[in-house]
Structure 1
Amino acid sequence: MTWTESLYKLAAKLTAHKPSLYPTEELDDLTDVKITKLSVDGFEGERRSYALSVKAGLHLFNESLEPSHAISQDIDTPTGSYWHSIMHRMEGDYSNAKYWFRMAGAHPVYDDVAKEAFAYIRQTGLEDIQSAALKQQFEQWLSASGYDPVRFTDLVEYQVTKANDERGEELLKHIQWIEMRKLLRHGYAFSGGERELF
């Protein structure tokens, strides 16, 4: 099977899933093997780094942190740094995640993430969040002019380490899902993808 055929099947399966903010094990061992076997032979230069970023992202959708980290830490681009950041956020190493978000700089997907994430929160509302402190942090985050992944990481950290708010968890997982899907599409498009990935 070609890169494209295999990739579409994996992406269709994985991107429907909203990964945990703090996964404890991968979703599916066999899917991990399939991602690992996706060959980037034939990709060169910048296109190769984007193809590798797609593999790093698929591993994170499968909640496989170590394989994703092994790939993303060797991609010296803003997109590689972005996946590296998300991986550290998901493992609970929030200060390291924020460092790599700063290394990624003003990534091109931020505007699209902000538009979709802010619209989603405004549509669903924050009323059901039980933690007053978490709700206040959400409101401050929403008042920003654009997507700030460092402040989003602070929200995730507060939820995971202090609030443990059921509704807050749902909202944050959905925003992370939006972020990861946008980043995966970006990597795929710049690897030379010719049609929508999902």
Structure 2
Amino acid sequence: MSLFQPAEFGPVFEPLVAVDRCRSLGAGRAHAADHKSLQRATLATAFGDAQLVDLDMARCCLAGVWLLHDFLHESHAISQQIETPSGSFWHGVMHRREGDFSNAKYWFRHVGRHAVFDELGPQIESLAGEGDSGALRLIIPAGTFDPFGLVDACQAAVRSGDDGFCRRVQQLEWELLFRHCFRHAIGS
């Protein structure tokens, strides 16, 4: 399982990511009170004293934190401007959460083979419980993470209302992708 440590991301991101990251598979409910804090997280402020070495990855972090707080429109406005595999990854996750499953798959085709996929497969297997075998087969066929399978599993989970496993997978996906983008943004 991911050992996500909010303090790793500095004083601006820490309170924004030290929240319940097991979000709805749908759009969720954005809270107006969070909007001001999120607006204060900019490229100039969010990374503290760290020197940014990859602005696209830094923007990916901003897209991710807006998405975490269920501000899909704001996340989308950022991610659609990032023409990299990680930008497309955030873009695909956002469309999956809004329920536009075919558009999510379109963006995942732009991702290609992402480094985070290799981390996801083994960790997803450890999340699975007794009743999760159907979704597990979709998400990690042959032990390898399949983002299209996760889209299909999330769509089925939304329809059935049995979304616990997919929500845990989505949380792990968010944590690993955010950490990946943050580390590349600051060159660590």
Q: Which whole-Å CA distance do the structure 2 matches of 1:141 and 1:12 have between them?
A: 26
CA offset digits 1:42-64 (Å, max 9, x no partner): 99986111111111111111111
Distance 1:171 1:99, change over 3 A: same
Deviation (angstroms), 1:12? 1.9
Q: Which whole-Å CA distance do the structure 1 matches of 2:137 and 2:145 have between them?
A: 13
Q: Which has the larger radius of gyration?
A: 1
Identity of aligned pairs, percent? Answer: 30
18, 31, 34: which one aligns with 1:31:
34
Q: Where does 1:48-63 land on structure 2 (aligned, <5 Å)?
A: 48-63=55-70
Are 1:19 and 2:23 an aligned pair? yes
Distance 1:7 1:155, change over 3 A: same
Distance 1:140 1:38, change over 3 A: closer
CA contact (8 A) 1:81 1:103 kept: yes
Q: Give the secondary structure class of the aligned counterpart of 2:54.
A: helix
Unpaired runs of 5+ residues, structure 2, are 1-8
Distance 1:142 1:183, change over 3 A: closer
130, 152, 174: which one aligns with 1:125:
130
CA contact (8 A) 1:101 1:150 kept: yes
Q: Which aligned runs of 4 or more in structure 1 are off by greater than 4 angstroms? A: 42-46
Q: Where does 1:62-81 land on structure 2 (aligned, <5 Å)?
A: 62-81=69-88
Q: Which whole-Å CA distance do the structure 2 matches of 1:46 and 1:100 have between them?
A: 25
Letter of the structure 2 residue corresponding to residue 171 of structure 1: F
**TM-score (normalizing by structure 1):** 0.80
Distance 1:92 1:46, change over 3 A: farther
